[in-house]
Amino acid sequence: MRYFIGLMSGSSLDGVDAVLVEIGEGGAQFKLLASSYLPFSTDIREALLALQSRGFDEVQRVTQAANQLMVVYADCVLDCLKKAGIPSQQIIAISAHGQTVRHRPEFGYTLQINNAALLAELTDIDVIADFRSRDIAAGGQGAPLIPAFHRSAFGQLGETRVVVNIGGIGNISILRADGSTSGFDTGPGNILMDSWIMQHQSQTYDVNGAWARQGKVNRALLEHLKDDAFLRQAPPKSTGRELFHAEWLEQKLTQFNDVSPTDVQATLCALTAHTLVDAIIAYAPDVHRVFICGGGAYNTMLMDTIKLALDAQTTQKVRPHVSVDSTEVLGIAPNHVEAMGFAWLAYRYTKRLTGNLVEVTGASGERVLGALYPR
């Protein structure tokens, strides 16, 4: 048996998702045995959020936050082991992505705070971490890294599929009918919606998009938000909170002071949906099916808006109807996909198999990703 635990805490800064999976020889088969989710405490979330921008005494704050994060990681691991009834000695490795606090591939670095050595101590399990830096060293973006897993898990020869991951940032994986794969970050996912509802409703996210449903999309504002150099940039490309943050939004809103907060939220939902759909139509014109994963898949308002935007594009371009579903219909819950993808990358590391795709990140070649911290 080849058991791996995948851990993921993404740019939404909501908490940690963990999966315990059995990966078959060759890495083509996956079986979820247990999952766990632990939300971040207010203290941890605020500490991580503060590290997204420059501040006082960053070195100490980074290391302390990393240690706190490892305690949450370890609790998720232990919860998965308990639920599955599997002893730690049977786990090949934990895949620990860490928490991204800087992503600047244009300057040759990306930083995910982590303390994999501490996690190995807390769990007595091998830990594989630092997945992004080798791709960066090879001239790549270091992200997104999950499209290769999407191909393995969801690809279907003879049918072009697009897997849309909506975390803090949105990205797409294009699984073409001929077996080739590409993908890139499309822009904001939940990040601006979460920031706006926190500012006005003191909620960490818009449950089911209920607040956005109370508003109306402001078309002029939507077009103004879409007028951004990153959104016009050709792939390969990746982004994060360094670009799409509260200050970016405030600057964009200076000409729209009369737009109500609920209308802004509805427009931000439309921004995420339209930038995703624009990318799909531009780079996967022959798409047959679209599958959504990540936290955004649970936002029914966002899902409805994506479907409407895609229907409008397909009707306008005289394209056949494109179905939109969550990855649940393919057997993997939307909130498990990314953690499972990093467990798969850990499996690839143990076999010394490459994990990145040149067509996605723009690296000079495919590389084995990760670094091992033995138990």
In angstroms, rounded to a whole number, what is the distance separating the alpha carbons of residues 3 and 90?
7
**pLDDT tens-digit series, residues 197-221:** 999 999 999 999 999 999 999 999 9
Domains of the chain, by residue range, sit at: 3-141+342-373, 147-330
Peptide linkage before 236 cis (omega within 30 of 0): yes
- Give the SS3 label for residue 1: coil
**pLDDT tens-digit series, residues 219-231:** 999 999 999 999 9
In angstroms, rounded to a whole number, what is the distance separating the alpha carbons of residues 204 and 197?
7
Among candidates 165, 94, 113, which has minimal Cα distance to 336?
Answer: 165
Q: Is residue 316 predicted with pLDDT exceeding 90?
A: no
- Cα torsion 134, 140, 143, 146: sign: negative
In angstroms, rounded to a whole number, what is the distance separating the alpha carbons of residues 282 and 214?
31
* 318 confidence band (pLDDT: 50, 70, 90): very low
Q: Is residue 24 predicted with pLDDT exceeding 50?
A: yes
Among candidates 306, 309, 308, which has minimal Cα distance to 292?
Answer: 306
Name the architecture of domain 147-330: 2-Layer Sandwich (3.30)
In angstroms, rounded to a whole number, what is the distance separating the alpha carbons of residues 230 and 317?
25
CATH number of 3-141+342-373: 3.30.420.40
With pLDDT > 70 as the criterion, what percentage of the chain qualifies?
98
Residue 4 bridge partners (DSSP): 21, 93
Lowest mean pLDDT of 87-91, 270-274, 312-316, name the range: 312-316
* Residue-level pLDDT at 12: 84
Model's pTM, two decimal places?
Answer: 0.95
**Averaged pLDDT of the chain:** 95
Q: Is residue 30 predicted with pLDDT exceeding 60?
A: yes
Give 222: exposed, middle or buried? Use CB within 10 Å, 0-12, 13-18, 19+: middle
Q: What does the pLDDT average to over 91-103?
A: 96
Task: Return the structure tokens found at 110.
Answer: 């990306």
* Residue-level pLDDT at 314: 66
Domain 3-141+342-373 identical in fold to domain 147-330: yes
**pLDDT tens-digit series, residues 160-196:** 999 999 999 999 999 999 999 999 999 999 999 999 9
